[in-house]
């Protein structure tokens, strides 16, 4: 089974074999019929989607040139603002929040003719690796509904894996696009920090957050990123860099680094086998395999779990029921305490308290400043590695999707699911996960990393791998 690409969808609409309205109607009907078993969507935007589709059909009828994503259905994560629609970050404290303006990425999608179908489930404030901390609902893996879809952008990954939409947007702070992409057997891309605007995204860790994509192919990811990426006057961290063409997808002459530190004890043996098989496929296709050592890799996860909670505790200070969030009854003091006490879930409270402790006067130098120094060293280590290789390859996650509820009482085990993805966020480099086979009848993800602002190299390697394999054509039957 093969899901249609973006270009195939546009060709169908342009040729008149289908209309944008028919496509949207069938998409909404499919979601209503099947999503009850998966829980990918929190809400569909039926009226807006049909209105957007009608506008595309009018363009087709007029013979005008169509925009690059004309009629393509896209889902957005619940932390992305779309004016007039709810954006709750799947938290009880924002349960009634309606966006007053539209995020840059959504605005650019609409400007390119995409149809915003609805918002998808996520871990509360993007804190989690399984989409189980959502205050709204559970999301189940389309490959096996007893398993988690990954997180924090699990709803978007599940929506694409199930074939509801060809594209979904997620946010990736420590692996929240790539890890669920691996768990659900789709392509998940995290661009270099700054290549996509964060304006209108509910912040978790401002120096780590980056908007990413879920698709079925690296080519589709590249097309969507070329639309949503680039400089934005509303985001001072965004860079003025156009997205280049993905080079002809080939491994011929490509230097692929294999860091020994990413093949650790505790990795599932079947996952290890799939990754080794993928490396052999690349070698046979002409890639130069280069053994690497990245000695600071073991420090990436602890560094991340100092920097991210510190930034989260600062970013979430505004949700007090007065400035933002649902107001609790009682006196001023009681309202503050109750709004945050009842509005935040256990994982969010855990990270706020951890971050507040890290930033406190007695521990700031010992923890936060030291973590920033390690971050600089990790970035330098990657910079040095990318002088020797074009891309680095690794597993996306150390195992496959686990059982619903299995790790909810063990935060450390949950955090370890991101052990191979957090370094890219710390260093601000590009990363993409592509399907590379099955282990225990569940998808395995292969991660390509490329240097900062060298995203096209990661996309090239991913596209080359997909050209010589068919794992991306295997889909769940849910």
Mind telling me the catalytic residues? 77, 152, 176
The helix or strand, by DSSP H or E, that contains position 379, with its residue range, turns out to be: helix 370-385
| CA max distance for the chain | 70
Give the residue among 163, 162, 155, 224 at the shortest CA–CA distance from 196: 224
**Pairing status of strand 391-395 against strand 115-120:** unpaired
Distance CA 336, CA 341 (A): 8
Give the residue among 138, 141, 249, 125 at the shortest CA–CA distance from 176: 125
The helix or strand, by DSSP H or E, that contains position 213, with its residue range, turns out to be: strand 211-215
CB atoms within 10 A of CB 37: 12
Q: Where are the alpha helices (DSSP H) in 202-268?
A: 218-228
Distance CA 247, CA 409 (A): 45
Residue 152: asked if its preceding bond is cis (omega within 30°), the reply is: yes
What is the separation of C-alpha 61 from the centre of its chain, rounded to a whole number of angstroms?
36
Reported as half-sphere exposure (CB side, CA atoms, 13 A), residue 5 has a value of 13
| CA atoms 354, 201, 208, 259: torsion sign | positive
**Pairing status of strand 187-190 against strand 211-215:** antiparallel
Q: Could you report how far apart the first and last alpha carbons of the chain are, in Å?
A: 13
Distance CA 357, CA 3 (A): 48
3-state secondary structure of 353: helix
3-state secondary structure of 44: strand
Which two tokens mark 131? 């989409």
Give the residue among 229, 211, 197, 208 at the shortest CA–CA distance from 68: 229
Between the CA of residue 317 and those of 17, 95, 122, 307, 312, what are the distances in Å? 52, 17, 20, 16, 8
CB atoms within 10 A of CB 237: 15
Burial class (CB in 10 A: 0-12, 13-18, 19+), 245: exposed
Q: Are the C-beta atoms of residues 13 and 27 closer than 8 Å to each other? A: no
């Amino acid at each position: 089974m093969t899901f249609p690409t973006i270009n195939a969808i546009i060709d169908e609409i342009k040729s008149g074999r289908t209309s944008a309205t028919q496509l949207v109607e069938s998409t909404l009907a499919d979601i209503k019929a099947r999503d009850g078993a998966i829980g990918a969507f929190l809400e569909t935007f039926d009226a807006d989607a049909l209105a957007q589709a009608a506008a595309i059909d009018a363009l087709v009828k007029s013979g005008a040139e169509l925009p690059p994503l004309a009629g393509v259905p896209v889902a957005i994560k619940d932390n992305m603002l779309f004016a007039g629609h709810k954006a709750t970050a799947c938290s009880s404290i924002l349960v009634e929040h309606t966006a007053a303006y539209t995020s840059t990425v959504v605005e650019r999608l609409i400007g390119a003719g995409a149809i915003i179908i609805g918002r998808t489930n996520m871990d509360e404030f993007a804190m989690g690796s399984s989409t189980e901390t959502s205050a709204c609902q559970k999301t189940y893996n389309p490959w096996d509904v007893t398993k988690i879809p990954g997180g924090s952008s699990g709803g978007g990954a599940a929506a694409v894996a199930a074939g509801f939409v060809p594209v979904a947007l997620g946010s990736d702070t420590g692996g929240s696009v790539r890890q669920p992409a691996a768990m659900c057997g789709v392509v998940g891309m995290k661009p270099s920090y700054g290549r996509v605007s964060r304006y209108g995204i509910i912040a978790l860790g401002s120096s780590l957050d980056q908007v990413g994509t879920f698709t079925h192919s690296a080519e589709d990811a590249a097309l969507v990123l070329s639309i949503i990426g680039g400089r934005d006057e509303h985001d001072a961290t965004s860079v003025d860099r156009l997205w280049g063409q993905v080079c002809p997808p080939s491994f011929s002459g490509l230097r692929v680094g294999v860091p020994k530190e990413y093949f650790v004890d505790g990795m599932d043996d079947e996952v290890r086998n799939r990754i080794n098989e993928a490396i052999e496929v690349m070698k046979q296709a002409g890639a130069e395999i280069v053994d690497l050592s990245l000695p600071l890799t073991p420090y990436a996860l602890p560094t991340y779990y100092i920097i991210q909670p510190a930034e989260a505790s600062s970013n979430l200070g505004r949700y007090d029921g007065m400035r933002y969030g649902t107001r609790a009854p009682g006196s001023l003091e009681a309202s503050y305490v109750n709004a945050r006490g009842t509005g935040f879930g256990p994982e969010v409270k855990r990270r706020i308290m951890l971050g507040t402790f890290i930033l406190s006067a007695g521990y700031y130098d010992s923890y936060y400043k030291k973590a920033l120094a390690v971050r600089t060293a990790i970035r330098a280590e990657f910079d040095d590695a990318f002088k020797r290789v074009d891309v680095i390859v690794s597993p996306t996650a150390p195992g496959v999707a686990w059982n619903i509820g299995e790790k909810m009482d063990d935060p450390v085990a949950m955090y370890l699911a991101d052990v191979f993805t957090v370094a890219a966020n710390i260093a601000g480099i590009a990363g993409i996960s592509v399907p590379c086979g099955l282990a225990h009848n569940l998808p395995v993800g292969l991660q390509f990393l490329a240097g900062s602002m060298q995203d096209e190299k990661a996309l090239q390697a991913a596209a080359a791998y997909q050209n010589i394999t068919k794992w991306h054509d295997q889909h769940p039957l849910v």
